[in-house]
Structures are given as C-alpha cells and as structure tokens.
Amino acid sequence: MTGTSGAEDEVVVNERTGESVTFVAETPEVLSMLVEWPRPGRRAVEHIHPGMTETWEVLDGVAGFAIDGVDVEGGPGTKVAAPAGRRHLAWNAGDGPVLLRIEMRPALRWREFTRRFFAGEDPIALLGEFAEEITLPG
C-alpha cells in the first residue's frame, strides 16, 4: 500500500452498528476495503459522494443497493457502482452477515472520514468537514 494513512489491513469497527471495515490498499486513485455488515436492514441514510465513485462487490451474503431510486439486490459476484454525484444507499438484504469489497475512486479522505465516523464523532460536523467525500441529498 502506498500513501500516508496508516498500516495495511487496518480494521475499524462501528460499535453502534457492528459494521467493520478493513482497509486493504490505498493510493490517491483508489481506496480498497473489505466490509462486513452483520445485521439485516438498512445501514446508512441515503447520501451522495460528490467527488468519488463507490463500487461494491458482494463476496458473501445478500446486499441491496438503491442508486437514484433504482433498487438492485444480489449475492456473491454481484457488482454495483454509484458514480460520483449520484444519490445512493446500500444495506444487508439477507438473513445473515454480508461481506463486500468496496472501492472508492479517487480515495480522497474517505479513510479518515470512516475512522472518525465509526469512532462516534458528530455526523453533522463531519459532513461539513468532508463535503467533497459525502453529502446528503437536497
């Protein structure tokens, strides 16, 4: 891995949701993560990445995705992308945990945002600080 964001295979856990993110590789062009969503149901509010494309690949379990209001659901091998500027939402659509590979292109400061959000920092304050990485629709 290149960059200055920390060690390979750093794992962060959101104690509120049980979601875990393993940062696998990072360059300025791409941040690659392995992500586990342990609980069925929606995991985040609908949002937009103004400066990044988010791509998901389902490795295990069943995940659901809504991109600009179009829903897609799939199991292992399913790949879905939300281009920069498109509103989207993703969730665990199965009965057990979901394991995904997620890539953010370019990486921008998504790793730092994730660390701080999972640590419990104020989400509204983070939205203001990371406006190129994430915003809410409307």
Query: What's 31's domain CATH number?
Result: 2.60.120.10
The rounded distance, in Å, linking the Cα atoms of 32 and 102 is 6
The label of the residue with tokens 């394991």 reads 99
| 86, part of any domain | yes
Interatomic CA distance for residues 88 and 22, integer angstroms:
22
* Eight-state DSSP code of residue 108: T
Q: Note whether residue 70 is domain-resident.
A: yes
Residue 14 above 80 pLDDT?
Answer: yes
pLDDT in tens, 30-43: 999 999 999 998 77
Q: What does the pLDDT read at residue 8? A: 66
- Alpha carbons within 13 angstroms on the beta-carbon side of residue 101 total 10
Q: Is the pLDDT of residue 1 over 90?
A: no
Mean pLDDT of the chain: 93
Please report whether residue 3 resides in a domain: no
Residue 5's pLDDT is 46
**122: containing domain:** 10-129
Half-sphere exposure of 131 (CA within 13 A, CB side): 2
Q: What is the mean pLDDT of residues 66-94?
A: 97
In the sheet with 88-92, reading across from the earlier edge strand, the strands are 41-42, 88-92, 63-67, 70-74
pLDDT at 3: 43
Please indicate, yes or no, if residue 107 is contained in any of the structural domains: yes
Predicted confidence at residue 43, as pLDDT, reads 72
- Does residue 106 form part of some domain? yes
